[in-house]
A and B are shown apart, each in its own frame.
Chain A
Amino acid sequence: MSAWRRRRRQSKGIEKENDKNKDESIESLFQQLNASNDFTHFTFQYEKCSLVIGYYSTLIDSEILHRDVFPFLKDLDVISSLPTLLPIEEVILTSDTSVIKNNLLKGYILLFDVNNMDQVGLVKSDVDRTRQVSLPEVEFSVVGPKESFVESLDTNINLVRKRLPIPEFVIKELTVGRLSKTRISVLYIEGIANKENVNTVIQRLSNLDFDQITDSSIITQLIQDNQNSPFPQLIDTERPDRIASAVGEGKVAILVDGAPHGLIGPTTIFEFFSAFEDYYLNWVVASFFRLVRFFAVLFSILATPIYVAVLTYHFELIPKDMVATLVTSRSAIPLPPILEAFVLELAIELLREAGARLPTKVGQTIGIVGGIVIGTASVEAGLTSNVLLIIVALAALASFTTPVYQMGNTIRLIRFPFLLMAHYMGFLGVAISFCYLLIHLLKLTSLGRPFLEPFYPPRVQDFKDSLVRLPFSLQSKRPIQEQTQDTMRFKAGKAKKNDDPKRS
């Protein structure tokens, strides 16, 4: 494992930062570095040489410095013997000031001989102050692995790679961000993933010019095909098993240093509604849950607009047994249906926003205040009808069933134009909005691949894992969506064969 890690690190130095003036002297470098108070440097006088040691005290692990570096230095005669002398694997010998600067900023210790400045040594002793791998919180599943990504890229890659112990699993690393210098890894399997997809991702990432990449969601917004669409076009996940499975399917994954979420592409809209737990449950159950989720989405988008449209224009459509319920619940309300709906929808959005912004303990009270006090009080005060209260609450609940958080937000947002159109034109308006939505979705692509696949373009084969999840024995082919080089996941015939001895 350390072998590839070292290779990756070393190759990285060459990749970038060549544009800076190379012949910058160490003195001027020191001058620049000294501007920061946490840069420490001092000179040691040894028998054979006088060593200058410099490092960012906030970046290095002083235990490594005192345990693995200082005790060995007294035997040092030339800098080039550092790698053999120190019990640390990662020692770089260089004379390039940009390499020195970059590595110092990554937690390396700089060592050089005052008398021989041709070559300097850089010893890795960075401190790893990230949290431990913990339970997934956004995509929690009852069955299945309970690891989730953390803020350290290396830990995250480790979580994925241990699920894919094959040499074909390749990681390409890039650095993006003028200020943040964020390491971004592109993960894929050579021989499965489509070269075009990989190249698209790498090209888009390397063309990025941005100052700070603080999270993977910024990368999503920057590299997705249509940046003005409310729909996310790359799946955001905190589950290493989901990333590993997606990579195995021929997709390309992106991991960003400092981000506890990875990205997956190309994808379809249906994947946003599949929880990864679907693959751990029996296919019948999983398919049922998926259908429930799709119903929830439609309900969430259409329920309130239909209520508004029916009550404003199409009273004929109300079943005769429901007329009494609807009319009595609305009789005391002075607002037209649209305002009534807006008041409640906004109340729900306020609750959600307040709940999301407040610390957990206060957030719980918000739920109680919102649910009980505002809900019942607004009905009693005659501001909203209780029928609408139920519809709006159910629609909000339905929008939370979406497994990918970003998509859930989108679903909640696109309800509002529907609502307005329902008020202006009734069902005609709802139909027009739906057409707009459909046209938009048809136009969307994810890394250049159609977003509404397998419906458009129609690909019957890919229905096996979209609206429903069919059994694994029928999933022997990789989805067409990814245009994989190797289309077969496993042999279908062998998977179906039952070699159990016959019972007599």
Chain B
Amino acid sequence: MVNRFLAYLCLLFPFFLTGCMNIDQRIIDDIQLSSAGGYEYTEDGMIEVTSVYPSFQPDKSVISKTITDTAKLSKEVRDKHSLQSEKPVVSGKVEVTLYEWKTAEKGIHDLLDTLQRDPSIGSNIYLVVVDGSPKELLSKQYGNTDTGIYLSNLIEQNIEAGQIHKTNLHQFLYKLYAEGMDPVLPIIKHEEDQVKLKAVGLFDDDKMVGQIEEEQFFIFKILLERKGQKGSYSLQVNEDKDISIYNISSERKYDIKKPMTNSEIIINVELKATISEYQDGSLNTGKITKLEKEIKESVEKESQEMIQQFQEKGIDPLGIGEEVRTRTRKWDQKKWKELYPDLKISVNVNVKLLESGVVE
């Protein structure tokens, strides 16, 4: 009986030690929820961080406010931000982080550390490169939501609609640390009162070295994703008549005969699409077969060019190296880096137009 009593007492003790648990309360209306952060290196090597936080008005509208400060470390800036704020600034609800163009070219690895280390920051936040100043972009109010949430919605919506590939902190870090792969990030630009998703930035390790323009998003996406969906592609067929197709499903398969040698690597893409717009009159089976061939040639040509561009820069955003690595017993990153620029990589696209719409 006494033993049992003691046992219960021991079980109870941890509850009296709540003071030692160091769980600090952060009640939602007593903190400043930062929703986006913009990073920029100043000329003297300091980091200038702009953070946006929503200020909720009593009439339920939201006003975005920004705080900017510079310091050597990102978290140090956060403390400095708190000095300017009525409530402590917390980073748990950060949805987007923005990097200035030059900063991205200089390398963002050091800036990512705080995002990885902070447990309250999820790995599904978006990273974007800004063409222009992030401070300027963030200090504007877009729509009637908070700027951070607006930017997050902008990117999320485009990923879901299939305009751009899937991207977030996790994907970026995975590609950054993977041996046969380089990361990519979307680039946004502030134009008048709008923010536009402009291009996709290509990274060599953590440094931005180039970009893919809007027109090439489709090609990049079908080559990047093993199984893709959505997204549309348009091309010119005879004279100034255009056709636009919409991706129903695309499947990408690598054909690597002899990995880690100079032998050719073939990327097979099975593209099932529907015609969403066609300017050259009615369609019949013969015409569709002809169109399929034309689309195939165009997509292949553009893909080829894109890969060529990657090879010249020595970057591998498509993760071809990763595909080779999975097929190699003794992976040697150095040897691959030497091989990669001169590899013959060809793309073989198989287009099937499944539907041509309801036009009679």
**Interface set of A (CB-CB < 8 Å, partner B):** 310-313, 315-316, 318, 320-321, 323-324, 326-328, 330-333, 336-337, 424-426, 428
Contact = CB atoms under 8 A, between A and B. Distances in A.
Contacts of A323: 33, 54, 93, 149
A312 B152 CA distance: 25
Contact of B26 (A313, A327, A333): A313
B95 interface: yes
A336 B56 CA distance: 18
12 contacts: A311-B27, A312-B27, A313-B25, A316-B121, A320-B93, A321-B149, A324-B145, A328-B56, A328-B57, A337-B27, A425-B23, A428-B23
Question: Which 4 A-B pairs rank lowest in CB-CB distance, beginning with the nearest?
Answer: A316-B92, A328-B56, A330-B29, A311-B28
A321 B23 CA distance: 26
B62 A324 contact: yes
Nearest to B57: A328
A478 B145 CA distance: 60
Contacts of B26: 312-313, 315
A316 B120 contact: yes
Nearest to B146: A324
Contact of B93 (A312, A316, A328, A332): A316
B90 interface: yes
A327 B29 contact: yes
A320 B148 CA distance: 10
A481 B254 CA distance: 57
A397 to B, nearest CB: 25
Interface in B64-113: 90, 92-93, 95
A318 B28 contact: yes
B18 interface: yes
Main secondary structure of the interface of B (DSSP, over half): loop
B71 to A, nearest CB: 24
A143 B145 CA distance: 52
Given A324-B54, A331-B56, 8 more contacts: A315-B26, A315-B31, A315-B93, A316-B120, A316-B122, A324-B62, A330-B29, A426-B23
A438 B330 CA distance: 50
A326 B35 CA distance: 15
Interface string B34-71: 01000000000000000000101110101000000000
Interface residues of B, number: 28
Contacts of B62: 324
B21 A425 contact: yes
Contact of A315 (B28, B54, B146): B28
A78 B60 CA distance: 96
Contacts of A326: 28
A261 B209 CA distance: 80
Contacts of B33: 315, 323, 327
Interface in B151-205: 152
A328 to B, nearest CB: 5
A327 B92 contact: no
Contacts of A310: 28
Contact of A330 (B25, B28, B54): B28
Contact of A332 (B18, B58, B95, B120): B58
B331 to A, nearest CB: 37
Nearest to B15: A424
B27 A320 contact: no
B18, B29, B35, most chain A CB atoms within 10 A: B29
B60 A328 contact: yes
B93 A327 contact: no
Nearest to A325: B60
A333 B29 CA distance: 9
A425 B24 CA distance: 9
A426 B93 CA distance: 18
Contacts of B60: 324, 328
Nearest to B21: A425
Nearest to B62: A324
B28, B35, B54, most chain A CB atoms within 10 A: B28
A327 B92 CA distance: 15
Given A324-B54, A324-B62, A424-B18, A331 B29 contact: yes
Contacts of A316: 92-93, 120-122
Contacts of B23: 313, 425-426, 428
Contacts of A330: 28-29
Contacts of A332: 58
